[in-house]
C-alpha cells in the first residue's frame, strides 16, 4: 500500500474520491478509485481520464501522479487541490471585485485553450470540476467524459449525452453528434454568469426546461442567430413560441461588481453564450477580450482571499446530516 486514505471528498456513479497521503513522501494527494467489474462504460471513462491526463502538462490542469490498476479497480492518484469553484461561488464572504473574477477566468480559459490546442474536449466543465488551491491557482479536473476531437474530420460523430445539464450547450440539447470545443466554451460562459449572479443562469429542471431557460435569454433560433439549427436531430421534436432575445443583459447578469468594466464583462459573456456554436468565441479569443486582457492581478497568490477548503465543507455536511438524523430520532420518540 503506497497511500493512506484519510477521508472521502467526493463520489460519483463510478467510484469514490479520497483525500490521502503518500506513505513514502508524506505528500497529500487525491485518490480516485473506480470499480471496473464488467462495466464497459466505467472502463471507457477511466481510460479517457487516464489518456487525457497523461497528455496534459499545464499549470491549470490537475497533475496526474500515477495510475494503479488491479483486476477489479483502477486508481488515479493526482495532486490534491484544496477547494473548487462551487465552494467559492457559494462563499458569502468572498470579495466581489474584478480581481478575483479575472484571476479565476483567465486561468480557466488558459486551461481550456491548452486542451483545445491539443485536440481535447473536456465535455463536463462545471464549478465542481474547476479546482482551486489555497494560492488561488485554478486546476481543471475530472476528465471522465473527455475525448479527442479532430478538426480535419468534421463528419466524426460524438455522443451528445455529455455535460451536466445546466452547463450543456444548446447543440447537445438538440442531439448534435457533430460538435467541437465550443461546447466547453458555452459551459465556461454559464459558470462566469453563475459566479456573478451567485446562482445558475440556466437552471433547467429537465432537458426540455433547460432549452426553455436558454431561449428565455437568447431567444428562439432564427436563420440569423443559428442557421443550422433545423438540421439537428431533435430540432423538430419540440415547438416553442417565438421568443425575442433579451437586449439588456444587465437584467440577466449582475455585472455591477465589475464596476467600470461591466460592459466589457457583458461583451465577453455575449461572445460565448451564443446559440450557434460556430459563432462562439474560442478560449484564445476570450483571453484577448478587453475584460480578460486588461488590468489583470499580478498573480493568483497576490489576491487577498483563501477559498473555502473542501474538507471543511465535507465535515460541515456530515455534521448537518448527523444533527438532522438526531432530530428525526428525537421526533420519533414522541410516538
Chain position carrying cell 459563432: 279
The active-site residue out of 71, 91, 124, 207 is: 124
The most confident of 109-123, 142-156, 225-239, 304-318, by mean pLDDT: 109-123
Q: So what's the pLDDT on residue 169?
A: 97
Average pLDDT over residues 53-57: 90
Query: Which of the residue ranges 155-159, 245-249, 259-263 would you say has the lowest mean pLDDT?
Result: 155-159
Query: If pLDDT is split at 50, 70 and 90, which confidence band does 319 have?
Result: very low
Q: So what's the pLDDT on residue 315?
A: 52
Query: What torsion, rounded to 10 degrees, do the Cα atoms 56, 9, 131, 35 define?
Result: 30
- φ/ψ region of 94 (left if φ > 0, alpha if ψ in -120 to 50, else beta) reads beta
Whether 47 and 33 have beta carbons less than 8 Å apart is answered as no
d(CA 128, CA 249): 26
Query: If pLDDT is split at 50, 70 and 90, which confidence band does 212 have?
Result: very high
Chain position carrying cell 468594466: 261
- The 10s digit of each residue's pLDDT in 71-116 is 788 889 999 999 999 999 999 999 888 899 999 999 999 999 999 9
For the packed helices 98-117 and 182-197, what is the interaxial angle rounded to 10 degrees?
A: 170
Query: If pLDDT is split at 50, 70 and 90, which confidence band does 325 have?
Result: very low
> Computed over its alpha carbons, how large is the radius of gyration of the chain?
21
Question: Within 13 A of 193's CA, how many CA atoms are on the CB side?
Answer: 27
Residue ranges of the domains in the chain? 3-80, 83-302
Chain position carrying cell 466547453: 184
**Average pLDDT of the chain?**
88
Query: If pLDDT is split at 50, 70 and 90, which confidence band does 162 have?
Result: confident
Query: If pLDDT is split at 50, 70 and 90, which confidence band does 327 have?
Result: very low
Q: So what's the pLDDT on residue 77?
A: 94
CATH number, domain 83-302 = 1.10.510.10
- The 10s digit of each residue's pLDDT in 172-188 is 999 999 999 999 999 99
184 is known as an active-site residue: no
What's the CATH architecture for 3-80?
2-Layer Sandwich (3.30)
Report residue 323: phi and psi, to 5°. -60, -45
Amino acid at each position: 500500500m503506497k497511500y493512506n486514505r484519510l477521508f472521502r471528498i467526493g463520489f460519483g456513479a463510478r467510484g469514490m474520491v479520497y483525500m490521502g497521503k503518500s506513505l513514502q513522501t508524506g505528500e497529500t494527494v487525491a485518490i480516485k478509485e473506480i470499480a471496473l467489474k464488467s462495466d464497459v462504460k466505467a472502463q471507457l471513462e477511466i481510460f479517457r481520464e487516464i489518456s487525457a491526463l497523461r497528455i496534459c502538462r499545464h499549470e491549470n490542469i490537475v497533475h496526474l501522479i500515477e495510475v494503479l490498476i488491479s483486476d477489479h479497480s483502477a486508481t488515479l492518484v493526482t495532486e490534491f487541490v484544496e477547494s473548487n469553484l462551487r465552494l467559492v461561488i457559494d462563499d458569502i464572504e468572498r470579495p466581489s471585485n474584478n480581481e478575483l473574477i479575472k484571476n479565476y477566468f483567465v486561468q480557466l480559459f488558459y486551461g481550456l485553450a491548452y486542451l483545445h490546442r491539443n485536440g481535447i474536449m473536456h465535455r463536463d466543465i462545471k464549478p465542481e470540476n474547476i479546482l482551486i488551491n489555497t494560492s488561488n491557482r485554478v486546476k481543471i479536473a475530472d476528465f471522465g467524459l473527455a475525448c479527442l476531437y479532430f478538426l480535419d474530420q468534421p463528419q466524426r460523430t460524438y455522443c451528445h449525452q455529455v455535460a451536466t445539464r445546466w452547463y450543456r450547450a444548446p447543440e447537445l440539447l438538440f442531439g448534435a453528434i457533430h460538435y467541437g470545443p465550443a461546447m466547453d466554451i458555452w459551459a465556461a460562459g454559464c459558470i462566469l454568469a453563475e459566479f456573478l449572479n451567485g446562482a445558475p443562469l440556466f437552471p433547467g429542471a429537465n432537458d426540455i426546461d433547460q432549452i426553455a431557460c436558454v431561449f428565455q435569454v437568447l431567444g428562439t433560433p432564427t436563420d440569423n442567430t443559428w442557421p443550422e439549427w433545423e438540421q439537428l436531430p431533435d430540432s423538430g421534436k419540440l415547438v416553442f413560441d417565438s421568443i425575442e432575445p433579451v437586449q439588456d443583459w444587465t437584467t440577466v447578469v449582475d455585472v455591477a461588481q465589475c464596476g467600470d468594466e461591466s460592459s466589457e464583462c457583458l461583451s465577453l459573456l455575449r461572445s460565448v453564450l451564443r446559440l450557434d456554436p460556430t459563432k462562439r468565441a474560442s478560449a484564445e479569443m476570450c483571453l484577448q477580450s478587453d475584460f480578460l486582457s486588461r488590468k489583470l492581478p499580478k498573480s493568483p497568490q497576490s489576491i487577498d482571499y483563501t477559498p473555502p477548503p473542501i474538507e471543511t465543507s465535507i465535515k460541515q455536511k456530515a455534521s448537518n446530516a448527523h444533527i438532522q438524523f438526531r432530530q428525526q430520532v428525537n421526533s420519533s420518540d414522541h410516538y
